Amino acid sequence: MIFKTAAELGELIASGETTAVEVAQAHLERIEQVEGKVNAFLHVSAERALEQAAAVDARRAAGEELGPLAGVPIAHKDVFTTKDMPTTCASKILEGWVPPYDATVTTRLREAGLVILGKTNMDEFAMGSSTENSAYGPTSNPWDLSRIPGGSSGGSSAAVAAYEAPLATGTDTGGSIRQPAAVTGLVGMKPTYGGSSRFGLVAFASSLDTPGPFARNVLDAALLHEAFSGHDPRDSTSISEPVPPVVEAARQADVAGLRIGVVKEFSGEGYQAGVLNRFNETVELLESLGAKVVEVSCPSFDYALSSYYLIAPSEASSNLARFDAMRYGLRVGDDGTRSAEEVMALTRAAGFGPEVKRRIILGTYALSSGYYDAYYGKAQQVRTLIARDFEAAFGQVDVLISPTTPTTAFPIGERADDPMAMYLADLCTIPSNMAGNAAISVPCGLADEDGLPVGLQIMAPVLADDRCYRVGAAVEKALEDRWGGPLLRKAPAL
């Protein structure tokens, strides 16, 4: 049961060949079996999941018409508010906090009949590329338990790669869906900014955060994307346009006649040879499928990483000011002898981890008097140049492609004391967050050096999310024909 795709599970439940309760139970048993090795979940809600599954079965028995994912289990990143289970953002400062409301994404998952198994581990407040910054310990990559599963949505990627859930949610601020998907052999999509609601998503960087899906194949990702996306009047940045036809595009799987641009700046020094080998082979594959491939230069992309690490921490320093020990969450030192300022300082010192403190300090500095124009202002100007580079590129081609990450999954602890090396994991993914356009990562093989997954990144214009799925599905189909089945089936058994 756990090896079925989400689409297959939905069809089996709809036909009566199995029940949502049986499917949920199978995945809960899998979680119990492997979770001690993976640490993908911060909270497993077994009883509540079975109740949700039973409710889906009852609705089906009553003759209610349900969506294609009704009864399918899902792992939910612990950055989305959930009124029936804790939302901690993997931080001690929110330990045990149960929100009084659901995020819009959570609400739409429930309305679609998806069964939420629990909340997944992550880098604290989504700040990181390895899930090592969690206050509750790192998550392991199911391909090699000594390696990272990516971040910040590493718990979600590991849960799907370990067959603990067929689907998962994530958030992508600088690559936090695509990068984990790449290093765990999954499909991970960053929709157009504003295409999926941020209401109830605990904010890291408000102009960048984007909810998106994880799945083991392109069609499943498209089905989940469609289920929780769309306009939300409670999110002022939500786009009022209809959701692009992503499911239709995923079923099309055809690139004949498409113009595909290879980003010149995303290659060379710092890229693992095995990653470039698989990428170059995929470029040749796309040409053999009828696409026209050309090289495209986007010079401002070279400055994306630097500008991102001024803009994102600046927004984080503002957003995290709400965790002040006064309203909710952790409170330290409130013994009646200390002022509110002292309690606040003690609480934030005890509740935030090192990476969160680093980014708050960096962001506060960048926004401070005398430095705002020199740092934050300049970074925003670079952001405009990046958007213009995308605009010029999409005037020449339909989509852009690159490796998703410069390397495969690195060993846990290898970059823990080197923030710059850690930040470079998002080198290829950050530009799409800065411009707000759509981007997806799909598996394109295994690296020669270590046998670990490599991801292909496909970038499309704003609100052209369907192009990502169309190209991704074509690559997936061609490679599955070559491999004799899905890449993930070859992952080492836990």
Q: For the chain, 494 residues long, give each residue's pLDDT as a single digit of tens.
A: 999 999 999 999 999 999 999 999 999 999 999 999 999 999 999 999 999 999 999 999 999 999 999 999 999 999 999 999 999 999 999 999 999 999 999 999 999 999 999 999 999 999 999 999 999 999 999 999 999 999 999 999 999 999 999 999 999 999 999 999 999 999 999 999 999 999 999 999 999 999 999 999 999 999 999 999 999 999 999 999 999 999 999 999 999 999 999 999 998 788 999 999 999 999 999 999 999 999 999 999 999 999 999 999 999 999 999 999 998 899 999 999 999 999 999 999 999 999 999 999 999 999 998 899 999 999 999 999 999 999 999 999 999 999 999 999 999 999 988 888 898 899 999 999 999 999 999 999 999 999 999 999 999 999 999 999 999 999 999 999 999 999 887 767 68
Query: What does each C-alpha distance from 16 to 12, 75, 397 come to in angstroms?
Result: 6, 24, 45
Consecutive H or E run containing 460: strand 453-460
The terminus-to-terminus CA distance of the chain in angstroms comes to 16
Can you give the pLDDT at residue 294? 98
Of 130, 156, 176, 229, which one is the catalytic site residue? 176
Q: What share of the chain is helix, strand, coil (3-state, %, to 5)?
A: 45, 15, 45
Q: Residue 199, CB half-sphere, CA atoms under 13 Å: how many?
A: 22
CA–CA separation, 198 vs 188, rounded Å?
A: 18
Which pLDDT does position 417 carry in this prediction?
A: 86
Distance of CA 131 to the CA centre of its chain: 12
- Rg of the chain in Å (alpha carbons): 21
Tell me the Ramachandran region of residue 418: left when phi exceeds 0, alpha when psi lies from -120 to 50, beta otherwise.
beta
- What whole-number distance in Å separates Cα of residue 410 and Cα of residue 492? 17
State the number of CA atoms in the 13 A half-sphere of 400 facing the CB.
31
**Would you state the pLDDT for residue 268?**
79
What's the one-letter identity of residue 444?
A: C
**Annotated active-site residue in 4, 77, 119, 190:** 77
- Closest by Cα among 218, 266, 280, 268 to 441: 218
> Is 152 among the catalytic positions?
yes
- Check 152, 197, 229, 441 and give the catalytic one: 152
257: left (phi over 0), alpha (psi -120 to 50) or beta: left
Q: Sign of the C-alpha dihedral, residues 51, 57, 60, 61?
A: negative
Please tell me the distance from the alpha carbon of residue 87 to that of residue 96, in angstroms, as a whole number: 7
